[in-house]
A and B are shown apart, each in its own frame.
Chain A
Amino acid sequence: MPDAILEPPPHTVPAVFTRALLDWLPWLEPLAVDALTERHMTALVDAARAKSDYFRLLARDPEALRARTLTDKDIFYNADAGLPRAERELAAAATSRFNGCIYCASVHSRFSATYSKREADVQRLLDEGVNANLGERWNAIVAAAVALSTTPITFGSQHVERLRGAALDDLAIADVIHAAAFFNWANRLMLSLGEPAAPAQP
């Protein structure tokens, strides 16, 4: 059978940025669960990811998926100093808000709100966009993520200076750079290989 585009089942398209839990529906056929080999499971890194259509679709290129996943984990989960997790997630959410990835923004705004306990500020980023006033430290992180996400890139020494002024050391600034850069990777996969769906009403 020739490869074909999948027709997503009837669903509610989320029309706003939200911290609610969303589904993601693939436009291309993921690998079947029972077709996953040892090589695919190694690529998925966490066995639980075999349940995800998104990861089973990316598992079609297992080497690329495994390296992507291990890059992601170190950027966000490595707890050795640098930027607090809440603010790595803020950079991810701001990047996703700016690029327009409603799915990624939902996941990482939830994480940022959970770790920072600043639900209202995170919600303001989603509602008002990347120019929302979140206080100078968060504004500096959001502005840096945005300047890195434009094409051509507009991030420069003025952004570094502003982050230093907001008490980020150079390891923390490197974490902002990596978190925003990584979500330029993730947003493009999530936006172009499928679409978000609001969960069916119970």
Chain B
Amino acid sequence: MSGTDTDVIDTLVGIKPGSALDAIRNRRPDARTQAQASYRALFAPESAGSITATERFAVAAFVSGLHGETETASFYAAGLAASGASPELRRAIDAAIAAAKGRGPYGSYPAGPLSREDAPGPTHCVAAETRHELGSRLAAAFDHMHLLVFHPRDAAPATLQGLLDAGWSTTDIVTLSQIAAFLSFQIRVIAGLRALAGAA
């Protein structure tokens, strides 16, 4: 993994200093630096609290793997390895990604006029064997991350209860949710800017 001062979006889009995209990003300087500050806050925080670096990168490897954006997924897989994750854990995460891929967004609305737009889809539950390898804490996080990636409008208090039951605190849940939500942003900025660069 490269250092946390290397801009992840620039690296993964392939933005070179002095290029047209470099100039465009400089017109929104805070968006550029604070997107990177968000990455640092979530993956190299000043105070890690009760979520380890391996847990943070495990969640990121899963979320980015579900998006199927190869370079970004490889970046977080490398971060996971650098955090000291065991080969067994990394294999379990690869298995979890392969079993959980899908298409989103889907989900249900409150009963009423929008019900005709309800789009059913799976509620994820990590397979028993993988659950054993991940441990109950990460497995519960992965089940919730799948919901955030593919069908966030199905969220309900019960989905958060599963995280509390697995030992995550309220503050941990805020951070886990920020990781999934931030990655949903970062991955899309990377994909979008790459398409913009490619359409020159």
Contacts and interface: CB of A to CB of B under 8 A. Distances in A.
Given A28-B170, A151-B103, A161-B199, A15 B114 contact: yes
A4 interface: yes
Contacts of A156: 195
Contacts of A185: 181-182, 184-185
Interface residues of A, number: 71
A74 B170 contact: no
Contacts of B117: 129
A193 B147 CA distance: 12
A38 interface: no
Contacts of A184: 181, 184-185, 188
A57 B155 CA distance: 17
A64 interface: yes
A136 interface: no
Interface string B31-69: 100110110111001100100000000000000001111
B29 to A, nearest CB: 7
Contacts of A187: 152
- Which secondary structure dominates chain B's binding surface? helix
A181 B185 contact: yes
Given A67-B34, A78-B30, A156-B195, A27 B24 contact: no
Contacts of B170: 3, 28-29, 60
Given A75-B31, A101-B153, A170-B24, A148 B173 contact: no
B48 to A, nearest CB: 11
A159 B68 CA distance: 20
Contacts of B159: 192
B130 interface: no
Interface of B: 20-21, 24-25, 27-31, 34-35, 37-38, 40-42, 45-46, 49, 66-69, 102-105, 107, 109-114, 117, 144, 147-150, 152-153, 155, 157, 159-161, 164, 169-171, 173-175, 177-178, 180-182, 184-189, 191-193, 195-196, 198-199
Given A58-B174, A153-B69, A181-B184, 20 more contacts: A7-B157, A14-B110, A28-B174, A60-B170, A61-B174, A64-B41, A74-B31, A78-B27, A78-B30, A148-B188, A150-B104, A151-B68, A174-B24, A174-B28, A184-B184, A184-B188, A185-B184, A186-B181, A192-B152, A192-B160
